[in-house]
């Protein structure tokens, strides 16, 4: 018996061992088949469908204007898909809702399908085992909420098979306003503007979520919640003023069209802080369209031309070799230097000979500036003093603006062989040639003059904000406490104001406020030959500030290659400056002097109301309301208001005859005249507007029901 049991146990063990061995062989064989024979196949399958922890895009921060207006923001959009073979979707739910779902999709989402056609399409995809069917891309939040309520979809992510993938798109509520300054990020391209410079602040921190890659190549989230939630980016608050930016861009655009120019720049900066309130860059494309394709204001170096004469004259004033009252012979606008090897001419022919230095600057005389420069720095070794002064003005240094692309200024130096300094270099530099500055760098120099010599750093960003609260503030930065002596700055301010009052800009001076600045006209693509100069075009500019008495804003306008309507700065750029300054001045009350800031002046006779006739009671009420003092010289009901002596108002008697006599109503308004005449029994006919200047019946005529005709003017 024991032997029988033992044999039975051994038999079972043999069977189990055989089975284990068989399973082992099968597993080894399968492993070899999968790992070696079918390795390539299963690797490909693994690529088709596998789970990964993938990054979720964070919401990008906003770029906002100084007043909080949105310049660039990220709006959520959604890609809608359908998983017809979702593991939690029952056949009963699918069959019960497919007709209604197909109707809603065909009616409200994709009308190119009929409801029947959409149903057949979804049935086909379910039969094929598809895990993702695209429904619609770039759906707004409101559309997405409506789609989520469709039949079947309303059952949720798993039972209903609805797949919603969120993404963000950058939007600009003000369209192309400050387009290049705001900038953009594009795959494979250099970051541009504030979007590029503050990308790390704006982009936030992406989250992470497990996703499965479906055979259709789509990554579908596993679950509704992320493993790590994304953190939205912070907001960048700029110095840009929406209203000033709009004024500046529109004024520049009209000038670009009017003059058919190649490109134009306009910048408005706050004098005391360096905050850039507007920056516009417009270029003409090959098709003739005007577009903001490049930030010339920051990235393009140009020869400034006559606007650089301010730096040249300030250098001479600082060195004490010239004063504004000194004389210079303009030789009627033409001179030959260096044994007739260098001819210098003024832009506009004139008959001036000897004039003051101030007058030479007012009319932007090239001859005068060259002669003064050679007088001060023409001797051997003296040119270094001129360059030293330019460096004192910080004209050799970049500003360090926040966004990329600012080149270094180019100022020639006689000690640097590569600069190719020659005898003609100093004269040409005094006229703004053989050196390069960006429009913003030149404006910053003028801004320092307006700011009594203090040079501020121009900047575009004031704060970094998070959920409306400031996390980092960027205060104004002083680049240099004083670029020149107070005496030199005062004389420079006087010169710039006189350019507008009686110089090249006088045609556009304003009767409402004073502004100061300098016109400039630069020859472009020129070649100086032995007998002539070939010019390929012109650049018109104007740089200045306003109001001149208490500067609040500085502004530069530069327009390159104008092809019609003039070439000079006074014809092309100055009108744009004036339009920008006018609109800013008239829309900002803080630029206006309060009417009651000074003692009330006594009005002269010609400024006072005179020969006003009417009821004394009404006249007194008006005078009291206007706070105009007067003397009452009558106790009658009707009076005439007269301005007498030099500054005195008197109420004098106006006799109205009693009884049935026609009164004198000349000088009265129509309502008073009609009141008196109709009370006398007369019929009144009136012609014209204003006061009565003639009546058809003479005063004193007996009334007998006549018609009286009044003429008003």
Read off the pLDDT of residues 362-396 as tens digits, 9 standing for 90 and up: 999 999 999 999 999 988 889 999 999 999 999 99
The two tokens of residue 439 are: 């429009």
Average pLDDT over residues 322-330: 94
What are residue 564's phi and psi, to 5 degrees? -155, 160
Q: Is residue 519 part of a domain?
A: yes
What are residue 600's phi and psi, to 5 degrees? -65, 125
pLDDT of the residue at 423: 87
Tell me which residue of 237, 240, 238, 236 sits closest to 200, measured CA to CA.
Answer: 236
CATH code (residue 183): 3.90.1310.10
How far, in Å, CA of 315 to CA of 491, rounded? 12
Shared-domain flag, residues 609 and 586: no
Shared-domain flag, residues 551 and 647: no
> In this structure, is the dihedral angle defined by the CA atoms of residues 633, 639, 643 and 647, taken in order, positive or negative?
positive
**The domain containing residue 266 runs over which residues?**
245-591
Shared-domain flag, residues 223 and 85: yes
Instruction: Quickly tell me which residue has 């008003």 as its tokens.
Output: 712
- Residue 3, pLDDT above cutoff 70: no
pTM of this structure: 0.75
Tell me which residue of 108, 109, 101, 104 sits closest to 125, measured CA to CA.
Answer: 101
- Residue 655, pLDDT above cutoff 80: yes
CA dihedral 113, 114, 120, 125 (to 10 degrees): 20
Shared-domain flag, residues 663 and 541: no
Q: Is residue 7 part of a domain?
A: no
pLDDT of the residue at 429: 95
pLDDT exceeding 70 applies to what percent of the chain?
91
Average pLDDT over residues 225-233: 74
Read off the pLDDT of residues 542-570 as tens digits, 9 standing for 90 and up: 999 999 999 999 999 999 999 999 999 99
Please count the other Cβ atoms lying within 10 Å of the Cβ belonging to residue 228.
13
Tell me which residue of 75, 158, 73, 151 sits closest to 118, measured CA to CA.
Answer: 151
Average pLDDT over residues 59-88: 89
pLDDT exceeding 90 applies to what percent of the chain?
57
How far, in Å, CA of 81 to CA of 157, rounded? 11
Q: Is residue 259 part of a domain?
A: yes
CATH code (residue 339): 3.40.710.10
How far, in Å, CA of 3 to CA of 215, rounded? 62
How far, in Å, CA of 349 to CA of 286, rounded? 36
The helix/strand/coil state of 212 is strand
* pLDDT tier for residue 211 given thresholds of 50, 70 and 90: confident
- Residue 347, pLDDT above cutoff 90: no
pLDDT of the residue at 372: 95
Read off the pLDDT of residues 508-522 as tens digits, 9 standing for 90 and up: 999 999 999 999 999
Average pLDDT over residues 309-330: 95
**Are 242 and 174 a contacting pair, CB within 8 Å?**
yes
pLDDT of the residue at 590: 82
pLDDT of the residue at 635: 87
pLDDT of the residue at 40: 66
pLDDT of the residue at 74: 87
Shared-domain flag, residues 640 and 519: no
User: Looking at 591, 622, 657, which one is the last position of a domain?
Assistant: 591
How far, in Å, CA of 240 to CA of 384, rounded? 40
What lies within 8 Å, CB to CB, of 215 at 6+ separation is: 48, 49, 130, 131
How far, in Å, CA of 21 to CA of 34, rounded? 20
pLDDT of the residue at 584: 96
Shared-domain flag, residues 446 and 327: yes
- Any bridge partners for residue 519, and if so which? 542
Q: Is residue 207 part of a domain?
A: yes
Q: Long-range pairs for 463-469 at CB < 8 Å and ≥24 separation?
A: 463/236, 463/237, 464/198, 464/201, 464/234, 464/235, 464/236, 464/237, 465/64, 465/234, 465/235, 465/236, 465/237, 466/234, 466/235
- Residue 485, pLDDT above cutoff 70: yes
Average pLDDT over residues 418-426: 91
What are residue 511's phi and psi, to 5 degrees? -75, -10
Shared-domain flag, residues 250 and 216: no
Shared-domain flag, residues 565 and 426: yes
Q: Is the backbone of residue 152 left (phi > 0), alpha (psi -120 to 50) or beta?
A: left
How far, in Å, CA of 537 to CA of 522, rounded? 9
Read off the pLDDT of residues 564-599 as tens digits, 9 standing for 90 and up: 999 999 999 999 999 999 999 999 888 887 766 667
Q: Is residue 29 part of a domain?
A: no
Average pLDDT over residues 531-536: 67
Shared-domain flag, residues 203 and 260: no
Number of domains in the chain: 3
Shared-domain flag, residues 228 and 253: no
Please count the other Cβ atoms lying within 10 Å of the Cβ belonging to residue 204.
18
User: Looking at 533, 567, 591, which one is the last position of a domain?
Assistant: 591
**Are 681 and 639 a contacting pair, CB within 8 Å?**
no
- Residue 686, pLDDT above cutoff 70: yes
Q: Is residue 17 part of a domain?
A: no
CATH code (residue 648): 3.30.10.20
Read off the pLDDT of residues 278-313 as tens digits, 9 standing for 90 and up: 999 999 988 888 988 899 999 999 999 999 999 999
Shared-domain flag, residues 394 and 509: yes
How far, in Å, CA of 475 to CA of 345, rounded? 46
How far, in Å, CA of 456 to CA of 269, rounded? 10
CA dihedral 601, 603, 609, 610 (to 10 degrees): 160
Q: Is residue 425 part of a domain?
A: yes
Q: What is the mean pLDDT of the chain?
A: 88
Q: Is residue 23 part of a domain?
A: no
Distances 297 to 283, 294, 402, 439 between C-alpha atoms, Å: 12, 9, 13, 5
- Residue 530, pLDDT above cutoff 90: no
Q: How many CA atoms lie within 13 A of 383 on its CB side?
A: 19
Read off the pLDDT of residues 427-481 as tens digits, 9 standing for 90 and up: 999 999 999 999 999 999 999 999 999 999 999 999 999 988 999 999 999 999 9
The two tokens of residue 29 are: 């064989």
Please count the other Cβ atoms lying within 10 Å of the Cβ belonging to residue 244.
24
Average pLDDT over residues 588-617: 75
pLDDT of the residue at 627: 84
How far, in Å, CA of 585 to CA of 461, rounded? 24
Distances 625 to 169, 606, 622 between C-alpha atoms, Å: 60, 20, 5
Please count the other Cβ atoms lying within 10 Å of the Cβ belonging to residue 609.
15
Distances 592 to 110, 549, 584, 595 between C-alpha atoms, Å: 59, 11, 11, 9
User: Looking at 178, 210, 235, which one is the last position of a domain?
Assistant: 235
Shared-domain flag, residues 225 and 367: no
The shares of helix, strand and coil residues in the chain, as percent rounded to the nearest 5, are 35, 25, 40
- Residue 35, pLDDT above cutoff 70: no
Instruction: Quickly tell me which residue has 């913003």 as its tokens.
Output: 440
State the Cα angle at 416 between 420 and 374, rounded to 5°.
Answer: 65
- Residue 529, pLDDT above cutoff 80: no
> What is the H or E stretch that residue 590 is in?
none
* pLDDT tier for residue 34 given thresholds of 50, 70 and 90: low
What are residue 421's phi and psi, to 5 degrees? -70, 135
**Are 367 and 337 a contacting pair, CB within 8 Å?**
no
- Residue 49, pLDDT above cutoff 70: no
**Are 163 and 82 a contacting pair, CB within 8 Å?**
yes
pLDDT of the residue at 25: 77
């Amino acid at each position: 018996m024991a032997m029988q049991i033992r044999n039975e146990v051994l038999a079972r063990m043999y069977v189990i061992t055989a089975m284990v061995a068989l399973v082992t062989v099968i597993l080894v064989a399968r492993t070899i088949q999968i790992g070696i024979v079918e390795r390539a196949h299963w690797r490909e399958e693994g690529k088709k469908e596998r789970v990964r922890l993938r990054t979720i895009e964070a919401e990008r921060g906003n770029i906002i204007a100084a007043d909080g207006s949105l310049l660039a923001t990220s709006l959520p959009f959604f890609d809608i898909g359908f998983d017809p073979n979702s593991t939690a979707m029952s056949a009963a739910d699918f069959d019960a809702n497919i007709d209604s779902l197909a109707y809603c999709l065909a009616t409200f989402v994709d009308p190119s399908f009929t409801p029947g056609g959409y149903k057949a399409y979804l049935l086909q995809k379910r039969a094929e085992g598809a895990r993702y069917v695209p429904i619609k891309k770039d759906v707004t939040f409101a559309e997405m909420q409506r789609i989520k309520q469709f039949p079947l979809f309303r059952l949720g992510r798993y039972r209903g098979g609805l797949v919603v993938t969120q993404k963000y798109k950058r939007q600009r509520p003000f369209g192309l306003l400050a387009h290049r300054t705001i900038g953009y990020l594009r795959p494979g391209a250099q970051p541009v503007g504030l979007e590029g410079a503050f990308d790390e602040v704006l982009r936030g921190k992406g989250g992470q979520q497990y996703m499965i890659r479906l055979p259709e190549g789509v990554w579908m989230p596993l679950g509704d919640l992320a493993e790590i939630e994304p953190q939205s980016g912070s907001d960048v608050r700029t110095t840009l003023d929406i209203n000033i930016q709009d004024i500046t861009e529109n004024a520049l655009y009209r000038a670009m069209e009017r003059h058919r120019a190649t490109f134009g720049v306009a910048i408005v900066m706050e004098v005391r802080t360096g905050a850039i309130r507007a920056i516009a860059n417009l270029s003409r494309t090959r098709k003739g369209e005007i577009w903001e394709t490049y930030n010339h204001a920051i990235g393009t170096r140009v020869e400034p031309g006559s606007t650089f004469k301010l730096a040249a004259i300030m250098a001479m004033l600082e060195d004490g070799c010239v004063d504004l009252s000194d004389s210079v012979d303009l030789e009627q606008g033409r001179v030959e230097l260096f044994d007739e090897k260098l001819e210098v001419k003024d832009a506009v022919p004139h008959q001036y000979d000897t004039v003051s230095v101030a007058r030479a600057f007012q009319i932007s005389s090239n001859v005068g500036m060259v002669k003064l420069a050679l007088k001060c720095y023409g001797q051997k070794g003296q040119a270094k003093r001129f360059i030293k002064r330019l460096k004192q003005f910080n004209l050799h240094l970049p500003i360090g603006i926040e966004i990329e692309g600012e080149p270094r200024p180019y100022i020639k130096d006689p000690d640097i062989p590569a600069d190719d300094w020659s005898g003609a270099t100093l004269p040409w530099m005094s006229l703004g040639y053989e050196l390069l500055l960006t429009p913003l760098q030149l404006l910053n120099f003028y801004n320092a003059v307006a700011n009594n010599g203090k040079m501020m750093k121009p900047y575009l960003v004031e704060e970094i904000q998070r959920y409306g609260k400031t996390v980092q503030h960027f205060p104004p930065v002083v680049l240099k406490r004083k670029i020149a002596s107070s005496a030199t700055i005062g004389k420079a301010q006087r010169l710039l104001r006189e350019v507008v009052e009686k110089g090249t800009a006088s045609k556009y001076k304003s009767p409402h406020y004073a502004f100061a600045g300098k016109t400039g006209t630069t020859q472009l693509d020129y070649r100086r030959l032995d007998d002539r100069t070939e010019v390929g075009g012109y650049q018109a500019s104007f740089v200045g500030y306003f109001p001149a008495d208490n500067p609040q804003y500085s502004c530069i306008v530069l327009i390159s290659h104008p092809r019609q309507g003039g070439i000079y700065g006074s014809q092309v750029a100055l009108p744009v400056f004036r339009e920008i300054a006018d609109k800013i001045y008239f829309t900002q009350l803080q630029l206006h002097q309060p009417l009651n800031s000074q003692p009330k002046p006594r009005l002269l006779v010609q400024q006072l109301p005179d020969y006003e006739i009417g009821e004394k009671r009404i006249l007194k009420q008006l005078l009291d309301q206007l706070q105009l003092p007067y003397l009452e010289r009558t106790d009658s009901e009707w009076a005439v208001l007269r301005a007498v002596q030099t500054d005195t108002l008197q109420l004098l008697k106006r006799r109205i005859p009693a009884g049935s006599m026609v009164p004198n109503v000349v000088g009265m308004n129509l309502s008073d005249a009609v009141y008196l005449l109709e009370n006398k029994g007369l019929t009144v006919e009136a012609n014209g507007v204003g006061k009565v200047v003639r009546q058809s019946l003479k005063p004193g005529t007996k009334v007998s029901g006549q018609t009286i005709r009044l003429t008003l003017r």
